[in-house]
Each structure stands twice: as structure tokens, then as C-alpha cells.
């Protein structure tokens, strides 16, 4: 009876450890949840990046694309903020176009291509701002569409704002890779040991 209880306890511990290893491995390799941004162009205005849905490796160029179906918008003001909230770039770019879907600009993510392929005949304008950030962390980019007229409260404003963000990771992310490799290696060793014949201590029946 004692041996049976011990086996049962060991089995529970083994299952718990296996679940813990799997959870840690998944956490280490998981990608941040992605929310579509370009479909917001159905409101007339949208902004996204060429790295939408993926981390940006250090040293890589980030292209921010802002699009609008509003013909009154002639320029777009892009403002880039570091993870600490410091403005490092601010520039006003004239819009290009018009384009008619399924045509898309270069350096855009798959969500823009999918939108264009699924919505033929939409006329829109766009502008792009590109830089190579160096500081790791979550960056924010604000696109201010200038020239439009919108009612806000009791007054009118001549701009509409949309925002996007991206996460810049170190140029050589060995830390996360090493953690993932260690977890997966430990999981493999654990599974291998589970396949070995059970050990019976002498004198226990």
C-alpha cells in the first residue's frame, strides 16, 4: 500500500512538472497578441507598420504607413516616441496617390494586402515615415491626418489622430533564445527519463 501511494504521489508530481515545463516553454516562445489596425480605414483613417504583429530586431528599419479615404487630407504628421515617451522624430509628409484597391504601397504588412484584396475599388491616399530606432522597448507612433474637418464637442478640428506601436528587441536576443533552449532541453530530458524502467527500492513491496 505504501509503495502504491508513493507511486501515485510521484505520478502527480511528474504530471505537475511536465505541465509546468510546457507552460514555461510556451510563455518563452509566445508572441504578443496581435490586433488588426488597418481595417480601421473603414472609418476613413488608419495607420500600421511593416512589422505589424512581430517584434522588430535591433538595427532594422521601421516603415509606418498611414492611409485615408478622405480626399481633404493633404499631409500627415508622424510623431515617433521612445519607450520613455520622448519625441525623437516629428515630420509632416505629403500624401501620395490616389491608389485604388487592390493596389497597395510598398513596405506594408500582410493586413494591408489582405484588406486591399478583399475590398476592390476603394480609392485612398497614403503617406509613409521610416526610421531605424535603436532603443529597445515599446515605441509609439502617432499619425495626425491634417486638412480634414471634424466636429469635436462644440468646436471643429482640422485633424484626425490614429496611433500604432511596435516592440524593439535587442539586436542579438540570446537571452530569450537561451531560456527557451534550456526549457525545451529540460523537457526533453524529463520525457526521456519517464521512458526508463521504474526503480524499485529494495525491501519495498
| Across 51-58, average pLDDT | 93
The per-residue pLDDT for 38 is 93
**CATH classification at residue 60:** 2.60.40.1930
**Residue 138, domain member (yes or no):** yes
Distances (CA, A) of 191 to 15, 187, 201: 11, 6, 22
**pTM of the predicted model as reported, rounded to 2 decimal places:** 0.67
Model confidence pLDDT, tens digit, residues 84-118: 999 999 999 999 999 999 999 999 999 999 999 99
Model confidence pLDDT, tens digit, residues 6-45: 545 555 555 555 554 444 444 443 333 345 689 899 999 9
The per-residue pLDDT for 2 is 52
Q: For cell 505520478, what's the residue? A: 11
Over 70: is that where the pLDDT of 172 sits? no
Count of structural domains within the chain: 2
Q: Write out the residue range of the structural domain in which residue 6 sits.
A: 2-30+175-194
Residue 126 contacts by C-beta under 8 Å, 6 or more apart in sequence?
A: 65, 66, 67, 68, 95, 96, 97, 99, 105
Q: Is 108 helix (H, G, I), strand (E, B) or coil?
A: coil
The answer, yes or no, to whether the previous bond of 164 is cis (omega within 30 of 0) is no
Q: Is 85 helix (H, G, I), strand (E, B) or coil?
A: coil
Same domain (yes/no): 52, 145: yes
Over 90: is that where the pLDDT of 170 sits? no
Amino acid at each position: 500500500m505504501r509503495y502504491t501511494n508513493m507511486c501515485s504521489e510521484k505520478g502527480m508530481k511528474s504530471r505537475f512538472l511536465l505541465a509546468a515545463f510546457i507552460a514555461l516553454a510556451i510563455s518563452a516562445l509566445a508572441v504578443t497578441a496581435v490586433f488588426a489596425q488597418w481595417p480601421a480605414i473603414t472609418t476613413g483613417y488608419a495607420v500600421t507598420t511593416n512589422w505589424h504583429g512581430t517584434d522588430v530586431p535591433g538595427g532594422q528599419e521601421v516603415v509606418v504607413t498611414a492611409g485615408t479615404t478622405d480626399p481633404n487630407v493633404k499631409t500627415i504628421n508622424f510623431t515617433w516616441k521612445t519607450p520613455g515617451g520622448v519625441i525623437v522624430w516629428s515630420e509632416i509628409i505629403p500624401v501620395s496617390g490616389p491608389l485604388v484597391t487592390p493596389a497597395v504601397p510598398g513596405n506594408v504588412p500582410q493586413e494591408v494586402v489582405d484588406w486591399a484584396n478583399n475590398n476592390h475599388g476603394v480609392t485612398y491616399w497614403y503617406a509613409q515615415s521610416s526610421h531605424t530606432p535603436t532603443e529597445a522597448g515599446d515605441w509609439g507612433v502617432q499619425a495626425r491626418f491634417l486638412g480634414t474637418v471634424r466636429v469635436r464637442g462644440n468646436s471643429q478640428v482640422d485633424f484626425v489622430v490614429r496611433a500604432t506601436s511596435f516592440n524593439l528587441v535587442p539586436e542579438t536576443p540570446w537571452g530569450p533564445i537561451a531560456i527557451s533552449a534550456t526549457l525545451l532541453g529540460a523537457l526533453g530530458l524529463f520525457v526521456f527519463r519517464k521512458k526508463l524502467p521504474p526503480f524499485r527500492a529494495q525491501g519495498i513491496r
